Amino acid sequence: MQHRRRGIAVVINQVQFRGMKQREGSDRDRDKICAALEKLHFQVQVFQDLSREKLFSGLQLVADVDHTQHDCLVVVVMTHGSEDVLYASDSTYKVDRLWEMFLGNACPTLLGKPKLFFIQACRGEKFDEGVLLKVDSIVTDTVDARGAKEGPQSLLYVIPTMADLLVMYSTYKGHYSWRNPSNGSWFIQSLSTELAENGDQKELMQLLTTVSRRVAYDYRSYVPDNARMDAMKQMPCIVSMLTKALYFTPKQPAP
């Protein structure tokens, strides 16, 4: 993370849809996550209410950028979804299409660099009722995962196509993802808060574990007129193929 620039962060905010209910509260999520990413010196681009064609045309333009002097790539998606499917304003697309154009030889200037995707969307219609847990005390262990520095080397490696990709879903497969019409979604609000407060201090997986804990412990649905949806919980899910510990080390804004 010592390149000239932090990199591009794409924030995809889908509020309006053809034939589907609008996602109230998502603009609040957009504003908060943009502020957190800008604080970490990302160059933020917002894709607002795009059709599928315009969405992937925009992502292809990002993939075509020369990322040589960038540390990494971040893509945040906030939309409706179901199992393995996300919604643009006019139609659906498979979730893995989001990162296909940034992997392997499809985007050579991002090879060996972290590609981080955060997805706020339902992944089904199941609800998590939660279970009671008695907690006598809370102990937080902090682990420093940084290794010793090595001298300059000129070595070539063959790495897997999927290397250095991380996807964090707001909920686990088959389940509903909660969003407050006034305050935004549980996941994006928690992610934004943690990035803003500790983004340049903690290692990424430690940050995201804290995000998971915030969502799991601090939120519970309140829909008293609907017993099926009331008092439900949510558990984010992380799929990591990162090959190194990741720190957003402090950086001066690029000129």
pLDDT tens, per residue, the chain with 255 residues? 999 999 999 999 999 999 899 999 999 999 999 999 999 999 999 999 999 999 999 999 999 999 999 999 999 999 999 989 999 999 999 999 999 999 988 999 999 999 999 999 999 999 888 888 776 654 433 333 333 444 455 566 676 888 999 999 999 999 999 999 999 999 999 999 999 999 999 999 999 999 999 999 999 998 889 988 899 999 999 999 999 999 999 887 555
* pLDDT number for residue 59: 98
- The domain total for the chain is 1
**Strand spans (E) along the chain:** 5-13, 43-48, 70-78, 81-82, 85-87, 92-94, 115-120, 165-169, 179-180, 184-185, 237-240
| pLDDT for the residue numbered 254 | 54
**Does the active-site annotation cover 3?**
no
pLDDT for res 131:
85
pLDDT of residue 133: 74
pTM of structure: 0.89
- Classify residue 110 by its DSSP letter: G
| SS3 of residue 111 by DSSP | coil
Sheet bearing 81-82, strands edge to edge? 81-82, 85-87, 92-94
Whether 2 is in a domain gets the answer no
Identify whether 143 is part of a domain.
no
In a domain, 203, yes or no: yes
In a domain, 186, yes or no: yes
67: left (phi over 0), alpha (psi -120 to 50) or beta: alpha
pLDDT score for 220: 92
In a domain, 43, yes or no: yes
Is 136 contained in some domain? no
Active-site pick, 41, 70, 80, 175: 80
Domain of 34 in residue numbering reads as 8-130+160-241
Q: Does 253 fall in a domain? A: no
Nearest to 78 by CA among 113, 115, 28: 28
d(CA 142, CA 29): 28
Q: Is 80 a residue of the active site?
A: yes
Q: Does any domain span residue 218? A: yes
CA dist., res. 20 & res. 50, Å (int)? 14
CATH number of the domain that 196 lies in? 3.40.50.1460
Q: Is-contact 93 19, C-beta < 8 A?
A: no
**CA atoms within 13 A of residue 182's CA, in its CB half-sphere:** 0
CA distance 248 to 122: 29
Catalytic one among 34, 72, 107, 122?
Answer: 122
Q: Residue 99 in contact with residue 39, Cβ under 8 Å?
A: no
